């Protein structure tokens, strides 16, 4: 594999930042289409100063939208869904797959920004992104949909200390199916994705499983949240099933704290574990920084669905977390829960990108290689991007030339370390709820994760060796080795970025160094409110009353190749369980 010079690697980054012009025409095609969720929306600035609800859901993202829709459906109550960002319809680039790279490239870390993606960089120095828009990650991601591996439900819940419940698998499957009926599709696989599929099979990532949403060993095509016309479905679209009289969705409303009261001794009797605090509502601010209160009706609950950064951050801001840390920031301690913000994880991504010899189609993840069904071997995925090259830069790229096309393609194959076992922590660097908290993931700090990365990157290299990818190699002229005059022509990939060590087949130490030098995120961070440590088996905050956390912050392991399917399912699942509790009967599944 031929490595592209450092200046060309920089160019690849630059052209990715120029993507906005690529998708403008595609985005305009969806402008003006009414969103099904529009009738529920209200700007937080127009909300009353004080109002009462049965359920207050904080975070209109991957879990929050299906949760709110379910709680505002049959058997539910009056629901307020609070989202700190705007609506997806305000950002045309979100509507199509072509806007994916553009959205990430334009992520703005500024707290006051209205960009749908908020950038942040961990203390490890790895850039990352969190959603700031109704629909959460489902509104900005690559759209790949695949269920958790079956072992995840046993490893990630029942075995944790303090767990009293286990997953109700019939209801889990029914909740997955509810999501899939409304927002998933079978993608048309061709071009680059079809070649990767063949290369995975050549590399013995078998068997071939065809199209399936299940997590199975081998190579498969997963579902997508982009329909046949290329339009994105996000979790926000699930809100349409709610009863309009029961649901209100306040956008640009940032929750600043949960309002809690201490629980008296009389109220604690008969409960295990004994609650020490009870939620009575939340305080949130609108875009004008005016304060509002949403209060609970008797029997109501506050449910945090603000994600792996937002949920632990809000607990800490509310005085729920490690007492010494809270006291040092001047935050009154409501409940001393040492594990809030602890056990943070992010799945390391390492990939090989190259500029192919022929133009290829734009594709997000469709094909995935799963060497082991139980989540112990790295997952293999691929994508390709068509990106514009500024005229002033074309002449500086040796193999493009000044007369080259306006667009160039970048293809990538990546591996994702499952789990992971390496963990970090999150803490408040500011008491401003608009700012992202500080965190460190400690990527690849556990030897097991580093060993998996070594094997995963080696697997990627073997996939690239496959004959199915020969057509994407570029001709490279080199000297002959026979002593004769002339030169030989060989075909190699023009690598964008750090090339693999020449002895990658045998040198584990060199590959380990490669893993550490090129580690990046796949935006699958989780933890901070881990089940068994911060929440119980029903996702209630341990030692509290009327506070739950329902999102990926409760995970100690990522669920399969991609978490969005399971987080979406989780919102529906917990909503049905809460209605069941409310009425002391099994939930009635709507058609």
Query: From the annotation, which residues make up the binding site for FAD?
Result: 133, 255, 523-524, 563-564
Q: Which parts of 305-347 are beta strand (E)?
A: 320-321, 335-336, 342-345
User: Hey, is 248 helix, strand or coil?
Assistant: strand
Q: What does DSSP assign to residue 240?
A: G
d(CA 457, CA 491): 21
Question: 164 is written with which tokens?
Answer: 């009293």
Q: How far is CA 440 from CA 196, 340, 344, 529, 533, in A?
A: 33, 14, 8, 15, 19
Instruction: Count the neighbouring beta carbons within 10 Å of the beta carbon of residue 426.
Output: 28
Burial of residue 210 (number of CB atoms within 10 Å: 0-12, 13-18, 19+): exposed
Dist. CA 336–CA 195, nearest whole Å = 54
Instruction: Identify whether 524 is a catalytic site residue.
Output: yes
What is the torsion angle, in degrees rounded to the nearest 10, for the CA atoms of residue 461, residue 463, residue 464 and residue 469? 180
The DSSP-derived string for 99-117 is: GHHHHHHT----TT---SE
DSSP for 498-558 reads PPPPTTTTT-HHHHHHHHHHH-EE-S--EESS-BTTTB-TT-BBTTEESEEE-SGGG-SS-
Residue whose entry in the numeric block shows the structure tokens 């604690």:
268
Q: Which of 524, 526, 545, 583 is catalytic?
A: 524
How far is CA 508 from each of CA 422, 453, 456, 458, 459, rounded to the nearest angstrom? 19, 10, 12, 9, 13
Contact 471, 195 (CB under 8 A): yes
R_g of the chain computed on alpha carbons: 24
Q: What are the φ/ψ torsions at residue 326 (nearest 5 degrees)?
A: -65, -45
Report CA 280 to chain centroid distance, whole Å. Answer: 30
233, 250, 207: which is closest to 45 by C-alpha? 250
Tokens describing residue 86 = 């705007």
What span, in angstroms and rounded, lies between the C-alpha atoms of 35 and 355? 38
Q: Decide: 45 and 252 in contact? Cβ < 8 Å.
A: yes
Q: How far is CA 45 from CA 84, 248, 252, 324, 346, in A?
A: 12, 13, 8, 35, 35
Q: How far apart are CA 232 and CA 138, in angstroms?
A: 9
What are the residues whose beta carbons fall under 8 Å from the beta carbon of 292, sequence distance 6 or more? 44, 47, 48, 49, 50, 51, 253, 283, 284, 285, 286
By annotation, the residues acting in catalysis are 524
């Amino acid at each position: 594999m031929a490595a592209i010079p450092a200046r060309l690697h920089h160019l690849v980054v630059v052209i990715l930042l120029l993507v906005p012009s690529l998708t403008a025409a595609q985005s305009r095609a969806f402008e003006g289409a009414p969103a099904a969720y529009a009738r529920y929306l209200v700007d937080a600035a127009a909300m009353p100063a004080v109002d009462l609800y049965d359920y207050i859901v904080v975070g209109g993202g991957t879990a929050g939208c299906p949760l709110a829709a379910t709680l505002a459906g049959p058997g539910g109550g009056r629901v307020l869904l609070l989202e700190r960002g705007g609506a997806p319809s305000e950002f045309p680039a979100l509507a199509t797959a072509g806007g994916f790279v553009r959205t990430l490239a334009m992520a703005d870390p500024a707290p006051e920004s209205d960009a749908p993606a908020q950038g942040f960089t961990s203390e490890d120095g790895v850039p990352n992104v969190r959603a700031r828009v109704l629909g959460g990650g489902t509104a900005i991601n690559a759209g790949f949909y695949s269920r958790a591996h079956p072992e995840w439900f046993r490893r990630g819940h029942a075995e944790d200390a303090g767990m009293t419940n286990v997953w109700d698998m019939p209801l889990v499957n029914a909740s997955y199916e509810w999501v899939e009926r409304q927002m998933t599709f079978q993608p048309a696989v061709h071009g680059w994705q079809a070649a990767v599929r063949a290369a995975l099979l050549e590399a013995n990532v078998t068997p071939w499983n065809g199209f399936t949403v299940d997590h199975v060993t081998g190579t498969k095509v997963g579902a997508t949240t982009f329909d046949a016309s290329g339009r994105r479905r996000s979790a926000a679209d699930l809100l349409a099933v709610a009863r309009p009289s029961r649901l209100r969705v306040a956008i640009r409303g940032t929750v600043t704290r949960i309002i809690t009261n201490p629980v008296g001794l009389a109220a604690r009797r008969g409960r295990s574990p004994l609650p020490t605090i009870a939620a009575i509502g939340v305080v949130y601010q609108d875009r004008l920084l005016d304060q509002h209160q949403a209060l609970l009706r008797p029997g109501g609950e506050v449910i945090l669905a603000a994600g792996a950064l937002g949920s632990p951050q809000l607990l800490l801001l509310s005085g729920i977390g490690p007492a010494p840390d809270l006291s040092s920031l001047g935050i009154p301690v409501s409940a001393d829960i040492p594990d809030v913000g602890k056990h943070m994880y992010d799945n390391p991504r390492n990939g090989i990108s190259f500029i192919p010899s022929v133009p290829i189609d734009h594709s997000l993840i469709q094909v995935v290689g799963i060497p082991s069904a139980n989540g112990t071997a790295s997952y293999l995925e691929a994508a390709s991007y068509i990106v514009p090259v500024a005229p002033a830069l074309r002449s500086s790229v040796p193999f493009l030339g000044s007369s080259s096309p306006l667009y160039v393609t970048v293809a990538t194959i990546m591996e994702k370390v499952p789990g992971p076992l390496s963990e970090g922590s999150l803490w408040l660097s500011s008491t401003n709820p608009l700012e992202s908290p500080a965190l460190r993931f400690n990527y690849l700090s556990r030897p097991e994760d580093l060993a998996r990365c070594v094997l995963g990157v080696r697997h990627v290299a073997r996939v690239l060796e496959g004959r199915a990818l020969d057509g994407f190699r570029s001709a490279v002229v080199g000297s002959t080795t026979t002593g004769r005059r002339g030169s030989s022509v060989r075909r190699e990939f023009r690598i964008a970025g750090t090339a693999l060590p020449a002895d990658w087949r045998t040198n584990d130490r060199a590959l380990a160094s490669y893993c550490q030098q090129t580690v990046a995120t796949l935006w699958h961070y989780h933890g901070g409110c881990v089940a068994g440590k911060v929440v119980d088996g029903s996702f209630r905050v341990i030692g509290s009353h009327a506070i739950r956390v329902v999102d990926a912050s409760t995970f100690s392991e990522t669920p399969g190749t991609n978490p969005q399917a399971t987080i979406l399912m989780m919102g529906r699942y917990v909503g049905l369980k809460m209605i069941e509790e409310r009425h002391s009967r099994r939930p009635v599944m709507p058609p």
